[in-house]
Structure 1
């Protein structure tokens, strides 16, 4: 009995003195202002001056509370540039958008696997209960819907994701030429009629306008009068399409422009457009030594973010601009 008692005593003494009683609990990571961020598109202000929409994220979730403390340019491929904050992060409220899809003949070789359909589905799945979306297609051979110039309305404004997805399926076909400017005016009319404020014309196109009655200037003026900024994704697998005018339309209406030659990137681009609709800040890149016109310049923005009760964080996001 004495031996057993002697063996138990050391364990009791260790416990009383705070000795090891099991593996330590893992520490909870300190929350940070943001863990990542996305550059959602560009606006051209002048030669050598570009604006970026930036959205901070915590994991996969957009965070509108993080604020931009500072930003700097890193790893610029050509030229020299600096960056400044042209608008801090703010949430944009309920989204009311037209998803306007190019259904012209060139889609048969620019997007033979209908990746635009997948992108449209992904966009629809991000729609929240308070958001509303309409789906249209445009080409020169399909009879427009009543009251529209060049677009067919497959789904009027709805918050139903299933209805949006079904409409995207119908809107992704191959038709005639490209009445882009007329389609912009159609979408602008529909959005103005809703009376909403956070309205956006979201357009996917793979070509230059060759079928509109409307001019570029008229489309820009109309969108601005109606308060309907134009967000354009340009798809060009040939590398021959001149998207300068499309970029100007997006820039001069307060929207954003993105361009790709890879249809598999469309889903990610549509995702960034939704990010910008939820919350975004503005960063302005100014070249101090500008490369020649037509030069594709790549780089990174290192963005330091602050948020109440959280540790400051720095996220690094890549960007690409084509010098004008």
Structure 2
């Protein structure tokens, strides 16, 4: 007996590209850029090989390096010169991200996204205004409603600096509505909004917290970021953000949450983003350094899996390296 159905017929080199179901291109990718107000030179990020913090004076050059690979969009994260309890440098007119955005938008054609959160700017490392007793009582963390005004102010300040899109990542209830209303009232109706709709309290963020100097000084973020055990809750979070005016819905991290990416793709008629986070990047680099994996092939397969699950765009630290291959 011989098989009557032979899928292998469509795996030969000539036809394989014609029947490939998923494609990945440089235009699908967003490259993170870290801008540091505390340095006058580029500083390598030890836990994220190939990446650096750059001073504001180098922001344009850094973005041009990204664009030369074919990647057209960047998302900016800032390391401020000082921190305080309310993260006031996040929404300062002369804040590190605001200054970088002005330079980048004036001198390049890059599509610029501003990350909107306070954790990199607060002296306690949490994503908003905290309870006074939070340091001694870890069950008390961020004051949700008091934080909304600061997130909205941060988003408006980035829009006024020239950001094309803002991306609230604090997982604060009502943040999308607060930011959308503030943007519209300030005359920035054209600025898009990408919400970190399903952002999990994940163990994969470690290298990023080193890069952005944003680790909590005490406690953790489990009271406002999502429980990794929860799937249905992600749909609820995304639905709220969609109803409040989010233009793009993001899942973070990416690879451990492919089911969530797929769920959002099926449920919503707007672009879905996935964040291929620092821990995913670092673990592939670590395995490649041991000679256990081929870095470029595994990185490509990882991002392809995110596209196959339903992501329209991917924020990834592999953006430049893979864009050259693509």
The structure that has the greater radius of gyration is 1
Same fold (TM over 0.5): no
Indicate the structure with greater helix content: 2
TM-score, with structure 2 as normaliser: 0.32
Q: Which has the higher contact order (CA 8 A, sep 6+)?
A: 1
